[in-house]
């Protein structure tokens, strides 16, 4: 396999790129280092990749990349590049989301029409479902996103299916449910909670903590993404969940016991776009991809905690 990974310096993209290399594949990584969070974090994510002989890195946007040349001998495309974050997607920032999530995806799909690729795997999101979905949620549930971010992820997913139906681009979508683990973005809840506990700082909690999430460890998300690249059915979207649906309050209990710290929680109103509950029905991914999450929530939180400790010690 020769893979193109967009967003290769990001949280999931860097883990995926490393796993591909470990399996003996070649990787071309693209990242434009958008300013959603500090570049130095992404550079650290890239550090081991840059030393690999079968890894090539291009610092560029998707629109500016020489995609015809890049795709000339690529067999698989893993499209993870996107502007993340539900809460920042409102207002004037929406133009950034439409540019980086929708326009860039359409540009990549156009380039893939005449490319001889086996799969294009698009990283979608559980945010497309919104709050009206049945629990556990199946892929055929009507999507009703609650945030502009979710709208752009759904629009890009629709584009992927459109290009499959009309141009035969072998697109597959993986809908991630709340991915966590080492290298998690600094704005995400587990990173914020653990960092605050380690540094003995207040924790900002939106809502009362009774909202639930299906938490997916990053290594499980990567496994599912790679499986989608080989056995995923083109034109199909798959839920990728960790099977650990728990409340935020339960997560904080686990973290306090793990860190031996008592959380100083500052409660704030629920933010626009935040859904109440998520839980993935992963039957389709089990059947088509042989996907089954392996990492239990407590083990995954421990891995992220140990990673954060090492970064804070290094700092």
Percent of all residues in the chain with a pLDDT value above 70, rounded to a whole number: 99
Average pLDDT over residues 60-72: 96
Q: Give the separation between CA 93 and CA 97, rounded to whole angstroms.
A: 7
Domains, the chain, ranges and CATH?
Answer: 2-177+218-242+280-294 (3.40.50.720)
Average pLDDT over residues 89-97: 93
Residue 289 has pLDDT above 60, yes or no: yes
Residue 118 confidence (pLDDT) = 98
Residue 272 confidence (pLDDT) = 82
Are residues 172 and 209 in contact, defined by beta-carbon separation less than 8 angstroms?
Answer: no
**Higher per-residue confidence, 237 vs 312:** 237
Residue 315 confidence (pLDDT) = 55
φ, ψ (nearest 5 deg) of residue 9: -90, 0
Residue 312 confidence (pLDDT) = 87
Q: Give the separation between CA 265 and CA 247, rounded to whole angstroms.
A: 15
Q: What is the pLDDT of residues 116-130, one digit of tens each?
A: 999 999 999 999 999
Average pLDDT over residues 216-225: 98
| CB-neighbour burial class of residue 303 (10 A; exposed 0-12, middle 13-18, buried 19+) | middle
Q: SS3 for 162?
A: helix
pTM of the predicted protein model: 0.96
List the catalytic residues: 149
Residue 314 confidence (pLDDT) = 61
Q: What is the pLDDT of residues 118-163, one digit of tens each?
A: 999 999 999 999 988 899 999 999 999 999 999 999 999 999 999 9
- Mean pLDDT for the chain overall: 96
The band of 88, judged by pLDDT with boundaries at 50, 70 and 90, is: confident
Average pLDDT over residues 186-196: 96
Neighbouring residues of 78: CB distance < 8 A, sequence distance ≥ 6 = 3, 4, 5, 6, 13, 16, 121, 123, 225, 229
Q: What is the pLDDT of residues 239-250, one digit of tens each?
A: 999 998 899 999
């Amino acid at each position: 396999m020769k893979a193109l990974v967009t967003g290769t310096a990001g949280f999931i993209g860097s883990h995926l790129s490393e796993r591909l290399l470990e399996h003996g594949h070649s990787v071309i990584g693209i990242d434009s280092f958008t300013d959603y969070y500090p570049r130095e974090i992404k550079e650290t994510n890239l550090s081991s990749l840059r030393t690999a002989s079968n890894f090539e890195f291009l610092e560029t946007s998707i629109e500016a990349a020489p995609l015809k040349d890049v795709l000339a001998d690529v067999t698989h495309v893993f499209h993870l590049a996107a502007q993340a974050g539900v809460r920042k997607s409102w207002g004037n920032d929406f133009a950034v989301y439409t540019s980086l999530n929708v326009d860039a995806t359409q540009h990549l799909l156009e380039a893939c029409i005449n490319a001889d690729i086996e799969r294009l795997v698009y990283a979608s999101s559980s945010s497309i479902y919104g709050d009206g979905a049945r629990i556990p949620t199946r892929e055929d549930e009507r999507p009703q996103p609650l945030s502009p971010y979710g709208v752009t992820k759904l629009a890009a997913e629709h584009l992927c299916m459109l290009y499959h139906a009309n141009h035969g681009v072998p697109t597959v979508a993986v809908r991630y449910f709340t991915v966590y683990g080492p290298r998690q973005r600094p704005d995400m809840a587990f990173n914020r909670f653990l960092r605050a506990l380690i540094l003995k700082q207040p924790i900002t909690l939106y809502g009362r903590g009774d909202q639930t999430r299906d938490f997916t460890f990053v290594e499980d998300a990567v496994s599912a993404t790679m499986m989608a690249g080989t056995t995923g059915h083109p034109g199909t979207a798959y839920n990728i969940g960790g099977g650990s649906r728990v409340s935020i309050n339960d997560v904080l209990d686990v973290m306090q016991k793990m860190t031996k710290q008592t959380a100083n929680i500052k409660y704030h109103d629920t933010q626009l776009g935040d859904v109440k509950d998520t839980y993935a029905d992963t039957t389709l991914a089990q059947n088509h991809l042989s996907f089954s999450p392996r990492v239990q929530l407590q083990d995954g939180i421990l891995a992220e905690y140990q990673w954060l400790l090492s970064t804070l010690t290094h700092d």
